[in-house]
Amino acid sequence: MHPDAARCSPSDSPLPHLKTGFAMKKTFLMTALALSMGSAFAQSSVTLYGVIDTAYQHQTNATATGGNLNAVTSGSISGSRYGFKGKEDLGGGLYSLFTLEAGFNPNDGSRGQGGLAFGRQAFVGLGGDFGQLTIGRQYTPLFEHYGNFDPLWGISNVNESGFYLAYGTFRQNNAVRYSKNIAGVNFAAMHGFGNVAGSTSAGQLNGLQANYTAGPLLVGAAYQKFDVNSSASTNLGSTTNAMVGANYGFGPARVFFNYMDTKLSTGAKSDVATLGVNYEVTPLVGLVGAYYNDKTKSTTNVNGSRNTLALGVTYSLSKRTMVYTYVDRSKENSGYAATAISAGSDLFGAPTTLTTRSNLLVGVRHAF
């Protein structure tokens, strides 16, 4: 799995039926001072929250020669993290907000996201009747869309391949994000500055997403373009992503569909179609299943494909603690290893000429 795969959920859990189970503990700072300074200051609060997620993992055909892997992994269904969220009522419908969120790996105690102090999110902003404007390191609108329309959202392997053609741009530094609900449509736009001297485009990202809810139906679309260049003198081209998706709930079930098209300016491309379902067996037991079809093409017009079936079961021991198990099986054609630009980003590492692979996860997740 890519170091950040399944660690990048902007919401509380990658599984929609688990989101309500993430209890967050609110800590009101400087309570005594707030009481002495009046009600305006008392409207300011800070929330401390976190997740610890770790699992045993078994992979077949984990190497090019068919070797298996047994390991303890971190962030298997949702990234381990701790964070702070703050909000202050400024009066007249205006408010300020911030989020500082750090990732870590409980299996060895190391920091996530390359050792950044707040590698998952770090932003500040203002909100009100005009919408919400935030500045800093943030999730891209494309990735926010993705979380609504993939029932496994990065837990399985094949669904990541098209996304990682975006060179890991599910978070963007130096980003300005605007969001607003307009006539029932939730809209978000982002511009990420490259901060590269001598170039206005190098490292730049532009993204949009919109979704609309009509009763049990949610539909959405997203678009993103990222300039891969890291300096004014390099010319690595750009990556363009587009997604459309829908999910529909009925009774204890919710079905999902998503289609993702990714193109590189070099001519390489990936198309991933997703079908899936979440089912609440009881308030404590959840089932999830998904099928992924990934078609790729290299710059030399070599075609590849991978099909994956993934299944999972979750059991909530309390509102904050759950155990889970997930299995998936993937079949690739011989061209996939040559065309999957996401090499190394999925549960199995770099694609090889081996045609079948399987994966098992058994883990525990605690939220605080």
Query: pLDDT tens track of the chain, all 368 residues?
Result: 333 333 344 444 445 444 433 444 544 444 444 444 444 454 789 999 999 999 999 988 877 788 888 999 888 888 999 999 999 999 999 999 999 999 999 999 999 998 999 999 999 999 999 999 999 999 999 989 988 998 887 564 444 545 554 445 789 999 999 999 999 999 999 999 988 887 777 888 999 999 999 999 999 999 999 887 666 666 667 888 899 999 999 999 999 999 989 888 888 888 889 999 999 999 999 999 999 888 888 777 778 888 889 999 999 999 999 999 999 888 888 677 655 544 333 333 445 556 788 889 999 999 99
Q: Evaluate whether 154 touches 254 at the Cβ level (below 8 Å).
A: no
pLDDT of 334: 67
**Predicted TM-score (pTM) of this structure:** 0.83
Could you say which DSSP state residue 61 is in? S
pLDDT of 10: 42
For residue 6, is it within any domain? no
pLDDT of 121: 97
Give the start-end residues of each E strand in 16-64: 25-27, 45-59
Distance of CA 296 to the CA centre of its chain: 21
pLDDT of 307: 87
pLDDT of 230: 65
Alpha helix (H) ranges present in 15-107? 31-37, 39-42
For residue 5, is it within any domain? no
Sort residue 66 into left (φ over 0), alpha (ψ -120 to 50) or beta: left
CB under 8 Å to 340, separation ≥6 — which residues?
Answer: 161, 270, 294, 296, 304, 306, 351
For the chain, the domain total comes to: 1
For residue 8, is it within any domain? no
Q: What does residue 197 show for φ and ψ, rounded to 5 degrees?
A: -65, 135
pLDDT of 28: 45
For residue 237, is it within any domain? yes
What CATH number is associated with residue 99?
Answer: 2.40.160.10
For residue 241, is it within any domain? yes
Distance of CA 155 to the CA centre of its chain: 10
pLDDT of 227: 85
For residue 348, is it within any domain? yes
For residue 225, is it within any domain? yes
For residue 150, is it within any domain? yes
Structural domain containing residue 73: 16-367
Residue 259: C-alpha distances to residues 150, 220, 306, 327 (Å) = 10, 11, 15, 23
pLDDT of 21: 39
